Amino acid sequence: MAAAGDWLVTARRIKMTDMPQLVAAFHSLVGMAAVLVGWAAYLNPQAFGIAGADGIIEAQSRIEMGLGIAIGAITFSGSVIAFLKLAGKMSGAPIMLPGRHVINLGTLAGILGLTAYFTMDQSLWVIATVTALSFLIGFLLIIPIGGADMPVVVSMLNSYSGWAAAAMGFTLHNTAMIITGALVGSSGAILSYIMCKAMNRSFISVIAGGFGVDASAAGGEAKEQRPWKRGSAEDAAFLLGEAEQVIIVPGYGMAVAQAQHVLREMGDQLKAKGVRVKYAIHPVAGRMPGHMNVLLAEANVPYDEVFELEDINGEFAQTDVAFIIGANDVVNPAAKTDKSSPIYGMPVFDVDKAKTIMFIKRSMGGVGYAGVDNDVFYMDQTMMLLADAKKMVEDIVKALQH
């Protein structure tokens, strides 16, 4: 009960912006639990009813045990890397290792081969090697995946944790674990597939660990200095108040600044002036599936004003102001034009077609989570509003009141 109470306190105190890394941490614990249960069953099989008095484990139970330990170990190490990327402890840019696909395929083949061999020989070295290789492949699979794909990774790891729990359910002869694990595993896999389709990504390429991403695109710094225009809250308020339609594109920067409530207040003021206000949500905006939807719902933004990418992207050409708050990668035209970019092929909002673009970010020096500079910053119709997102929107709200 004490442990449950500790996690309840943690979950209640965690910031919404930190929720993705908390989810990754939960996944890692599920994975490690599967590994420990598998090893407990291996070391004392009689207690689990999977071996006779001679200590020989049933062949079927060895398969279940090997797969459960392997999936659990992959989930643990992969979730640790995801946690570090989401928490900013390591770069969100892809980290490419030479010959990574050969290494990954070889390691996976070794795990499967040894798991099959485990049915014939239950020696300690076999299961220990399976465990070690599985911890390794979880690490190798996640580090090449860039920040733009991280929401898919969170969903994918959720699926892995479910399958690990299901496998351990078979080992423990626990029907509830089997059913629950299968539900989590299948739903996570379906969500991952849907997100990949929405991002124009191959599901196999994501789970293979950055397959098809050019190593030269793994880094990402801001480009050379180019001319750009800076605006003020007063400038923004004037243009917003004169607009017929405004499309707001929220991103992780809005979440960090906790600006969703004041953003909704700005939207209400604009609607009072006769401006049509819409919110555009990208499937991977933020750090986990549905991140922006949750934040806007928390701020009581009307559901009928919130639109998915495919439903609103065609409206930017008829929009007076595209108001981007804390987003970057999801509005970056490099995804459509630069084949060397780690986000190439990902559908993005066509904000460059709007008459005016207002872009809130802290400074010109930073790049998005995928580590890619954004040509939208330097377009003629773009006004950069450099400040904390919440402070800038609060100033715009005050200016609209005058």
Half-sphere exposure of 374 (CA within 13 A, CB side): 29
Q: Which amino acid is residue 3, in one-letter code?
A: A
DSSP 248: E
- Please name the residues in contact with 255: beta carbons below 8 A apart, sequence gap of 6 or more: 16, 17, 286, 287, 291, 292, 295, 326
CA–CA distance, 37 with 166 (Å, rounded to integer)? 12
Q: Exposed, middle or buried, 226 (CB in 10 Å: 0-12/13-18/19+)?
A: exposed
Known catalytic residue at 329 = yes
CA–CA distance, 237 with 230 (Å, rounded to integer)? 14
DSSP code per residue over 357-386? EEEEES-SS---TT----GGGGSTTEEEEE
Cβ-based neighbour number of residue 208 at 10 Å: 18
Angle at 277 between CA 275 and CA 278, to 5 degrees: 160
Angle at 236 between CA 233 and CA 241, to 5 degrees: 125
> Are 309 and 346 contacting, i.e. CB atoms less than 8 angstroms apart?
no
- Please name the residues in contact with 169: beta carbons below 8 A apart, sequence gap of 6 or more: 175, 176, 177, 178, 179, 180, 181
DSSP code per residue over 315-333? GGGG-SEEEEES--GGG-T
- Nearest CA among 396, 400, 384 for reference residue 274: 400
List the strands of the sheet with 245-250, edge to edge: 306-308, 276-281, 245-250, 321-325, 356-361, 382-386
Length of the chain: 402
Q: Which of 149, 329, 350, 352 is catalytic?
A: 329
Q: What positions carry a catalytic annotation? A: 329
